[in-house]
Amino acid sequence: MATVSQLSKAAFLLALSFKFASAVDLDHDTIIGVDGGDHLNPPQCHTTITIPYIGSTTTSTTIVPCGTGLSTLVIQTPLITETCSPTQTTTRKPPSTSTSRHTTTQTTTIKTTTKKPVTTTTTTTTKIPEATPGGPCPITKPRCRPDGFDIDYYANPFAGYSRENSLPWSYYITQNLKPLKSSITNVTFFPQDFGPPANLPKVYPRPDLPGDWYAVGWTKQTNGGIVVDANNFTLVYSGFYRAPETGKYTLCTTADNENDVFFGHGNAFSCLDGKVDTNVKPLVVSTGGNYINGIKCADLDLVKDAYYPLRSVMGDWQGPSAFNLTIKTPSETFENRKNDYTGHAYPLSCRSGS
């Protein structure tokens, strides 16, 4: 239902419409003043009034009359009147309060840079110290244990190696012999024996050596638990000697019948490939027989904790035998030199690359 103010307003607008129509019919130059009175013969005018109101649009109407005495009336409600000339009606949309729903979608592009795994190959060139003839091996296997020297038992022909003008020490290599037995030992000594038990039969295998017998069934305990044919045999000791201190050492040997000692790189064996040169000369050679075994020695300058190749080729060609190989350290007396290398003897398997 309309309110009182709304009805009054409508009545006022209707009255204005009637008054305007009468003025046109009378052909008077009458214009409605602001105070509501009639004013005769005013100057011709063209008035456009725009009155905004609450609504969805803003409407302004410009009335162009048919003759003279132009007047313009703008009302809020639609003005329905018969016009003689085109009436321009401009309908403007108010400056729309553009509720621009500006949805700002902030796209955060997270670049996940996945780097391909770069395989960095670091080439470290380690210069291996060169092994000098007679010197230590620059590199041995890490964490190798001092288990002792290798000991290999080879067959030695009757009147073979250790007899003068017979086989050389290298025969076991040049003839490609295989060890009859092998073991590990820290000790390079076994005592002099005095021949076989009397109950063992004897034979004489060589007519050219009529006084040299062979005792059938005679055996002997040596080192590393190896039992040999006591009549004739060859034992090869080989490995590394680790020097416990720096200074002058003395290596000595005695044997019945012979012991050839090789020491250091290239003499005992190669630090590089472990091979033995069959043309090298021993550092020390000791020979003996008839219970007379002369001692032979050589002095060595060694460096603490260096690993020195060592090889000892002991042979007995007939009859009783004995063997001793000692190394005197700088702090020891000659009388206290040792043939037990526990803690300082390393097997061939400790060689780097073996």
User: What count of other Cβ atoms lies within 10 Å of the Cβ of residue 283?
Assistant: 20
User: What count of other Cβ atoms lies within 10 Å of the Cβ of residue 311?
Assistant: 24
Strand partners, 258: 287, 315
CATH number of residue 282's parent domain: 2.60.120.1560
- According to the model, what pLDDT value does residue 97 have? 37
Q: What is the count of structural domains for the chain?
A: 2
- Tokens representing 95 are 């400056």
* CB neighbour list of residue 150: distance below 8 Å, 6 or more residues apart: 182, 183, 184, 236, 237, 238, 239, 347, 348
Q: Residue 313 falls within a domain, yes or no?
A: yes
User: What count of other Cβ atoms lies within 10 Å of the Cβ of residue 23?
Assistant: 17
- Tokens representing 147 are 């288990």
Q: What is the pTM of this model?
A: 0.65
Which of 63, 80, 97 marks a domain boundary? 80
Q: Residue 91 falls within a domain, yes or no?
A: no
- According to the model, what pLDDT value does residue 232 have? 98
The single-letter code of the amino acid at 154 is Y
Q: What distances in angstroms separate CA 84 from CA 30, 74, 87, one per listed residue?
A: 18, 18, 9
Which of 65, 80, 95 marks a domain boundary? 80
Q: Residue 120 falls within a domain, yes or no?
A: no
Q: Residue 115 falls within a domain, yes or no?
A: no
3-state class percentages of the chain: helix first, strand second, coil last, to nearest 5: 10, 30, 60
Same domain, 169 and 57: no
Same domain, 199 and 343: yes
Q: Residue 297 falls within a domain, yes or no?
A: yes
Q: Residue 124 falls within a domain, yes or no?
A: no
Same domain, 65 and 184: no
What is the total residue count of the chain? 354
Task: Tell which residue, 201, 195, 308, has the closest CA to residue 261.
Answer: 308
User: What count of other Cβ atoms lies within 10 Å of the Cβ of residue 229?
Assistant: 18
- Tokens representing 62 are 């410009």
Name the phi and psi angles at 63, rounded to 5. -100, 125
DSSP 48-102: ------SSSSEEEEE---SSSS------SS------SS--EEEEE----------
- The residue range of the domain holding 246 is 149-350
Same domain, 71 and 181: no
- According to the model, what pLDDT value does residue 131 have? 81
Task: Tell which residue, 15, 25, 23, has the closest CA to residue 41.
Answer: 23
Same domain, 344 and 199: yes
Strand partners, 108: none
Same domain, 73 and 153: no
User: Using the 8-state DSSP alphabet, how is residue 281 labeled?
Assistant: P
Which of 22, 55, 80 marks a domain boundary? 80
Q: Residue 325 falls within a domain, yes or no?
A: yes
Residue 326 contacts residue 252 (beta carbons within 8 Å): yes
Q: Residue 119 falls within a domain, yes or no?
A: no
Q: What distances in angstroms separate CA 26 from CA 65, 66, 227, one per listed residue?
A: 14, 14, 161
Tell me the average confidence (pLDDT) per consecutive run of 10 residues in the chain, 354 residues long: 42 38 40 44 51 53 58 52 44 41 43 53 52 90 95 98 97 98 99 98 97 98 99 99 98 99 98 97 98 98 98 98 99 98 98 86
